[in-house]
Chain A
Amino acid sequence: MTDHIISVKNLYHTYQSGPLQKAALLDITMEIERGSCAAIIGITGSGKSTLVQHFNGLLRPTSGTVAVDGVNVQARGGDLKVLRQRVGMLFQFPEAQLFEHTVYADVAFGPRRLKLSKREVRTRVLQALETVGLPPHTYAQRSPFELSGGQRRRVALAGVLAMLPKILVLDEPTTGLDADGRTEFYYYLQRVQQKDGVTVILVSHDMSEVATLADQLFVLHNGRLVMQGTPRAIFGQGNILHQWGLTEPPLSELLIQLHKQGLAIPLDVFTLEEALHALQEIETTRHEKENV
């Protein structure tokens, strides 16, 4: 039996501002497996951020149910504090939320709220900093404002990790980072997922990131869940994402082009190694045919 850490049933969410109403989510039903990495993709305004904010109770469903690790997020009532601890959330441009004088104090902000012993806080902070690749002996006492953008973002990630969440929700975590910053960020993220068995939920519109990281994709469009499946299944279907304003990762697009040209290459390939391997195979079979 599969273990669903998050299960959403018939979720609707409507924003209300003054006299205006706006339906943001319509009838979402989805499940996310424990320990996996799920990606929620869709264009701006498709409801991605609204959806993930239900996972730690920042938003409450207008109707429908959201169950996160056994805790129900209801329309009203219920203790959501437990949930905030279990679900760590990193918003867009998280480096803007740093405020303390030192990296150490900033990362310790969350754990200190949990009424832990000083020693426990210390271990957690040092561990979190280590995990995100900022060795405490060089970084802990520096001011977060003198670090680079990518490093500050990793400090913010450490701040969330120090709460020891079971689920980590990242809302477009790499926007505004350069290529190196991106790769680094994802390297440490994957380490967290594998080492601590944290379920990672990624909100993104960068398909190539999603293709390599996620086990499961959920495509949102205008507040509806229009498609779900493994990246292999979704990107393997050719240009299907175009109708929702999304594009495949460049590699998939290249393969689709090659396929159209008549090359017998499988479409459900989405890492460079696999693609190279497939191309080599085609090459060898062609050689064999010529030699026969």
Chain B
Amino acid sequence: MFKNISLGIYYPGNSLLHRLQGRTKLLLLAWFTVYIVIANNYMWHFAPYIVLAALSFLGVVISGISLHHVWRRMRLLLLLMLLGAIPTLFTTDGTVKPLYTFGPFPTSFDFIRWSIVAYGVLLTIYIALFLLPIPSLQIISLRSWLKRFRIPLIFITLGVIVLLWLIRNIPPGATFPVGPFVITNLGVWSLFSLYTVFIVLYIFSLLLTMTTTPIALIEGLTMLLTPLRWLKLPVDDFALMTLIALRFIPTLIEEVEQLLKAQISRGADYAHGTLRERTQSLIALFVPLLQGVFRRASDLATALESRGYEIGSHQTRLHEKRLGAIDYGVLALVVIITVGSFFV
């Protein structure tokens, strides 16, 4: 049941990116963000964006994670951005001269009415396919394929009804203009830069989480936050808390799984039954779970105290990790390349 929850999306490996320390990668990500903000000020200056794209592609190749996996995690974002791209393309502040204009197109309400009629016919066919017991259509694959359209169709139908209500008083001969659509330099540029920045930053953060264990990530973060100690902020306690929380997530998932199985074996049913039965099944899950969590927490607290843990004390690390040659090397290389790209 919990097979699909991948916590963090760490891909074990031994590539250059895996060997870099967590804080190096965090620093690099921060640096890229700063770099993008600066690059955004230079319109039509493509070099920084080419460098970013090249570096992100290089990162994916070096990390040794298959392109297929990276793509699988990116496609939803790309789809969302595609939807957002259309309005971005037509952004205009009214002052710059248009690059290209098309429209306005006169549209008659008759056209809209006929479209609605056509939609109605299609909808009827769909419902007929879906509900009527036509034996040749009982094939499961077709059914499940049709099922996918159910929710979008409900929304579209609602939209059509609202539209019908809106245009109920307009005479059939009337027309209205659609457009004009204006594409400006600014629109093209913001589309390009926004797109690149989004994708590249997303790839970089993907790479960060795919090549760093959550624990190493938190360690890196706290090391970067150490200056905050001077402000009397409890950096160490925060680090310990986060580490414990992270450490306990898999244990908890295991416990939930075990309890679920145990209660299902005793007759609990989480997917069927009346509301009351399901609530009781949930109680049967959560009461023992909470009990276990509290027991574990108090055991852990005792264990920590018996080893001399003190709130607010300064902690040192068992394994001091200094930045290695590759860390410095990669940091220097990236800074040189990115800064250099401004002068091309």
Contact = CB atoms under 8 A, between A and B. Distances in A.
Contacts of A111: 267
A245 interface: no
B86 interface: no
Q: Interface SS of chain B: helix, strand, loop or mixed?
A: helix
Given A89-B265, A94-B262, A97-B259, A18 B288 contact: no
Given A58-B265, A97-B262, A109 B284 contact: yes
A99 B267 contact: no
A164 to B, nearest CB: 11
A76 to B, nearest CB: 12
Q: Interface SS of chain A: helix, strand, loop or mixed?
A: mixed
Contacts of B69: 19
Nearest to B69: A19
B299 interface: no
B305 to A, nearest CB: 25
Nearest to A111: B267
B165 to A, nearest CB: 45
A72 interface: no
A137 interface: no
Interface stretch (A80-88, A246-254, A266-274, A278-286): A80-88
Given A18-B6, A96-B288, A113 B268 contact: yes
B43 interface: no
Contacts of B11: 19
A23 to B, nearest CB: 15
B266 A160 contact: yes
B3 A110 contact: no
B287 A99 contact: yes
A60 to B, nearest CB: 12
Interface in B84-142: none
Given A91-B261, A97-B259, A163 B267 contact: yes
Contact of B261 (A19, A58, A88, A113): A58
Contacts of A18: 6, 9
A111 B269 CA distance: 13
Contacts of A89: 261-262, 265
Most chain B CB within 10 A, of A56, A97, A159, A160, is at A97
A5 B340 CA distance: 75
Interface string A155-166: 000011001000
Interface string A67-87: 000000000000001001101
Contacts of B6: 17-18
Interface in A202-255: none
Given A18-B6, A99-B288, A113 B262 contact: no
A16 interface: yes
Contacts of B284: 97, 99, 109
Interface residues of A, number: 31
A98 B6 CA distance: 29
B264 A84 contact: yes
Contacts of A84: 264-265, 267
A15 B254 CA distance: 14
Given A110-B267, A113-B277, A159-B266, A96 B261 contact: no
Interface residues of B, number: 26
Given A19-B11, A96-B292, A99-B284, A110 B259 contact: no
Nearest to A98: B288
A114 interface: yes
Interface string B283-312: 110011001100000000000000000000
A63 interface: no
Interface string A84-124: 11011111101011110000000001110110000000000
A110 B268 CA distance: 7
A143 interface: no
Given A53-B261, A96-B259, A16 B266 contact: no
Interface string B234-264: 0000000000000000000000001101111
A18 B277 CA distance: 33
A160 B283 CA distance: 18
A110 B265 CA distance: 9
A208 B98 CA distance: 88
Contact of B266 (A17, A81, A92, A110): A110
Contacts of B3: 15-17
Contacts of A96: 259, 288, 291-292
A96 B294 CA distance: 13
A58 B261 CA distance: 7
Contacts of A159: 266
B266 A109 contact: yes
B303 to A, nearest CB: 19
Of all A-B residue pairs in the complex, the 8 with the closest CB atoms, nearest first, are A113-B267, A18-B6, A99-B287, A110-B267, A89-B265, A97-B262, A110-B266, A91-B262
Given A18-B6, A160-B266, 14 more contacts: A17-B3, A19-B69, A53-B261, A58-B264, A91-B262, A91-B265, A94-B262, A97-B266, A99-B283, A109-B280, A109-B284, A111-B267, A113-B273, A114-B267
